[in-house]
Structure 1
Amino acid sequence: MFSLRRLSSLGSRGSRMLHSKRYQRFNSSNQLPPIWESRTFWYCAGAAGVGGTIYYQTHMEDSPTGRRRFIAITPQEETNLGLAAYAQTMAQYNGRLVPKNHPTDAFVRRVAHRIIRAANLPGDWEIHVIHSPEKNAFVLPGGKIFVFSGLLPLAETEDGLATVLAHEIAHQYARHSAEKLSKSKLISILYALVAMFLDPTLAQLGRSMTNLLLELPNSRQCEQEADEIGLNFMAMACYDPQQAVELWQRMKNAEQIAPPQLLNTHPSTESRIENIRKWIPQAQLKREAANCPNPDLTNLFFSRAGTGFR
């Protein structure tokens, strides 16, 4: 028969044992440590880093202006992506494309093909005019150029239109689409790894910062490069490169609200004009090498009936 003191002692000991068991059961030391504290994780991360660096370096190449850039998409892959985008674009603007026999369409095609021939560019080029007040133009991989009719009055002259078309042709020539697609693919892989092994919220933050610090400046680099290459292309086609400055002056006057250059994929109009003025002497040498006659005589020679902006 147990005494009260004995029972009290047993109760006290049992209580300590119970608390001890509960403590051991919920002890945080039994939880799995964070993955980054694992030595295996760092071995795998190191191997992935070395492999990724080798992959990145072996896919570096020079752009037409000598700028180093990463491209991991073959020309055939680029063309296939362009054909898919071309089909979607044609379906999107179905019914708004200016007919082939229309003077405006013939005018835009003639200027574009004059530049393409002068630059001796291969490929299956297609040029379309979209009936829209939008002042814009774009090119898809594979040489599919779209010009909105609202841009034509702003282009004003054949040289002004040549400035725009040569710029879009330069994008295709420099494979800027492949460059952007390659960089996007690489960044997507990095985001997936961060979300998988670390924290999905870090991937979201990284995506925003990458867009601001990497993708937008890269887009501006491509635009700037297309301006320089396009200026040379239009000069080789016997267009007056000085008229590129006049076009961008008209663009600047037409701008209502110009976003800050930092937050825009394109350089500011002012910086474009400044750069073009620096490149004009080089473009003039290209024009002289092409044995171009007087600009007025050249435009008269290439002009045909029905070149108005209708």
Structure 2
Amino acid sequence: MSKVFPVFLRRLQTRPLLRRGIRLYGQRFRYNRGYDQQQIWQTRGFWYTAGVASTGGAVYYQMHLEDSPTGRRRFINVSPAREKQAGHRAYQEVLAQYRWQLEPRGSPLDRYVRRVAERIVVVTGMHESWEIHVIRSSEKNAFVLPGGKIFVFSGILPVAANEDGLATILAHEIAHQYARHSAEKLSQASLLQVALVVASLFVDPNVLQMGQAMGSLLLELPNSRQCELEADQLGLYFMAMACYDPRQAVGLWQRMKAAELASPPQFLNTHPSTDSRIDSIKAWLPDAQSKREAANCPNPDTVRAFLGQPWATTAVSGGD
């Protein structure tokens, strides 16, 4: 996943919440002449406010719990429309940043990536206005923005090696959107900001000075292991349902591991260790194979034997 994710996530940081919290409660519980922290905690108003806020917060939190596609319980308070709005702004910025490096529409490389992505998108059932772009760059990276905006750096294509490898990468990124992982991270950021408001009012007002740095750190930290493994699992199923060979995902991550030893790909900056994800993928392969068979896909081994070469292998090269 690219560092582009934190860029658009900052669009939805709840900084206005910090300002409103200070205006609403700061005058009553502020640090001023002779009114110290201990006095604040000894007031009846403090405990009344704290009790009401805690109860309301607990109810609000419970109301916004939902299950992820894999059944994982999580907190999300960001609407799809709000998430998509931020993704659209980020999309325009990425287009502007790489406008001179975009692969022309209809070029062989563009058609190759588009063909793989479109096959995967169809099986997800997501109804988005999908846009697929190839960026000519040696950077080994790929990402998807909310709203169905996919970017693939040509530098990652030699690591992908073939359509199955590219399908592994694209399905993983598309799975992030399918599972709304960006909304999940935004929601976690909002909880942090609420905690900062409370801490600044009742513990130490200087906490607010660290708030922006802490918020940025949260957004720029690697995605949680749960989200990444969830995207691996969903992506593996998606590529299998699209009639790609899920067994080839293991080879892709082995090549990623080799590339990581030489020069860590940007794609791996926010992902768990390659060895652990390979083990997880191997454990999910039986289910993925079952989904592939249920989709009435041809046996890849039979196709390979008939063609006399690796199925769906396409020679690619990285950009400059």
How far 1:88 moved relative to its partner? 1.1
How far 1:73 moved relative to its partner? 1.1
**Which residue does 1:231 correspond to in 2?**
236
Give the TM-score, by structure 1 length: 0.80
Please give the per-residue CA displacement for 1:252-282, whole angstroms capped at 9, x wherever unaligned: 11113899xxxx7421111110100000000
Which residue of the other structure, out of 18, 31, 36, is the alignment partner of 2:34? Answer: 31
- 1:1-310 mapped onto 2 (5 Å cutoff): 31-34=34-37, 35-202=40-207, 204=210, 219-256=224-261, 265-295=270-300, 297=303, 308-309=315-316
Percentage identity across aligned positions?
Answer: 61
Larger RCO (CA within 8 A; separation ≥ 6): 2
How far 1:105 moved relative to its partner? 1.0
Structure 2 CA distance for aligned equivalents of residues 258 and 69 of structure 1:
34
Q: Do the aligned partners of 1:223 and 1:267 also contact (CA within 8 Å) in 2? A: yes
Q: Do the aligned partners of 1:98 and 1:128 also contact (CA within 8 Å) in 2? A: yes
CA RMSD of aligned residues (A): 2.9
**Which residue does 1:303 correspond to in 2?**
none
How far 1:194 moved relative to its partner? 1.2
Which of 227-236 and 37-46 deviates more?
A: 37-46
Q: Do the aligned partners of 1:191 and 1:207 also contact (CA within 8 Å) in 2? A: no
Amino acid at match of 1:268: S
Which of 235-244 and 188-197 deviates more?
A: 188-197
Structure 2 CA distance for aligned equivalents of residues 174 and 76 of structure 1:
15
Ranges in structure 2 where 5+ consecutive residues have no aligned partner: 1-32, 308-313
Give the TM-score, by structure 2 length: 0.77
| Equivalent position SS for 1:46 | helix
Q: Do the aligned partners of 2:146 and 2:177 also contact (CA within 8 Å) in 1? A: yes
Amino acid at match of 1:273: I
| Equivalent position SS for 1:80 | helix
CA, structure 1 residues 50+211, in 2 after alignment: closer, same or farther (shift >3 Å)? Answer: farther
CA, structure 1 residues 251+283, in 2 after alignment: closer, same or farther (shift >3 Å)? Answer: same
How far 1:216 moved relative to its partner? 5.2
Structure 2 CA distance for aligned equivalents of residues 208 and 33 of structure 1:
26
**Which residue does 1:27 correspond to in 2?**
none
Structure 2 CA distance for aligned equivalents of residues 288 and 127 of structure 1:
28
Q: Do the aligned partners of 2:189 and 2:215 also contact (CA within 8 Å) in 1? A: no
CA, structure 1 residues 62+257, in 2 after alignment: closer, same or farther (shift >3 Å)? Answer: farther
Q: Do the aligned partners of 2:196 and 2:211 also contact (CA within 8 Å) in 1? A: no
Ranges in structure 1 where 5+ consecutive residues have no aligned partner: 1-29, 301-306
Structure 2 CA distance for aligned equivalents of residues 84 and 74 of structure 1:
16
Amino acid at match of 1:32: Y
Structure 1 CA distance for aligned equivalents of residues 81 and 222 of structure 2:
27
Which of 175-184 and 235-244 deviates more?
A: 175-184
Structure 2 CA distance for aligned equivalents of residues 205 and 85 of structure 1:
23
Larger Rg over CA atoms: 1
